[in-house]
Chain A
Amino acid sequence: DTGVSQNPRHKITKRGQNVTFRCDPISEHNRLYWYRQTLGQGPEFLTYFQNEAQLEKSRLLSDRFSAERPKGSFSTLEIQRTEQGDSAMYLCASSRTGGAKNIQYFGAGTRLSVL
């Protein structure tokens, strides 16, 4: 399967712990996006990379959140000192420039539960 892959699918953690999620985009896609989705809402943009460069960060992305894409392939999203309000589905999407650009393909998401 060459779609967008996210791991883990589910993560349960205690408040105050750090968590890290991984996203593997479609291999030829140079853009990678992170979103947060809470129950009953649409996805909210968090940040996006073009290759290894992080080009945009939403104001939603507090200092406790950090994302990396060290080699322009997979990306990680880390949340430090988790809070109950961080509980959500974290979605990753990828796209490519040129051709059918601006079409984002989504992964299945990582559901985070902070107890």
Chain B
Amino acid sequence: AQTVTQSQPEMSVQEAETVTLSCTYDTSESDYYLFWYKQPPSRQMILVIRQEAYKQQNATENRFSVNFQKAAKSFSLKISDSQLGDAAMYFCAYRSSNDMRFGAGTRLTVKP
């Protein structure tokens, strides 16, 4: 079975600094998608960024970028110039044609 592992239950970053959240996954599939979702307290989950496994170029969305290492099955999220509104639970997710799995999440705290 595919698994998604987020090894950092909690992370903290100073406002305006950069933080990297880790994610590794296990799969035997060659075609899949990877996602980072953000879930603010008591609010709905929203998509931050996604990566297609067949693309070598790392995805970027404004202050959010990923480091996708397919051979290592690693998919980390970098948040640059952290803002107070970035504080949330961040979930790494994997989707293939027949499976969708989420990691346990990383709680990010942003210190002013």
Contacts and interface: CB of A to CB of B under 8 A. Distances in A.
B44 A45 contact: no
A90 interface: no
A45 B104 contact: no
Given A56-B98, A102-B33, A102-B95, A42 B104 contact: yes
Contacts, number: 41
Interface in B90-110: 91, 93, 95, 98-105
B91 A106 contact: no
For B45, B47, B50, B102, the residue with the greatest tally of chain A CB atoms inside 10 Å of its CB is B45
B43 interface: yes
Contacts of B100: 33, 45, 48, 104
B40 to A, nearest CB: 11
Most buried by B among A41, A43, A45, A109: A43
Nearest to A91: B45
Nearest to B97: A102
Nearest to A101: B33
Interface in A16-40: 33, 40
Given A91-B45, A106-B44, A44 B104 contact: no
A40 B105 CA distance: 7
Interface of B: 4, 33, 35, 37, 43-47, 50, 91, 93, 95, 98-105
8 contacts: A45-B99, A45-B100, A45-B101, A91-B45, A102-B33, A103-B47, A106-B44, A106-B46
Interface of A: 3-4, 33, 40-45, 48, 56, 91, 102-109
Closest 10 CB pairs of A and B: A42-B102, A106-B45, A108-B44, A102-B33, A42-B91, A43-B102, A45-B100, A106-B44, A42-B104, A42-B105
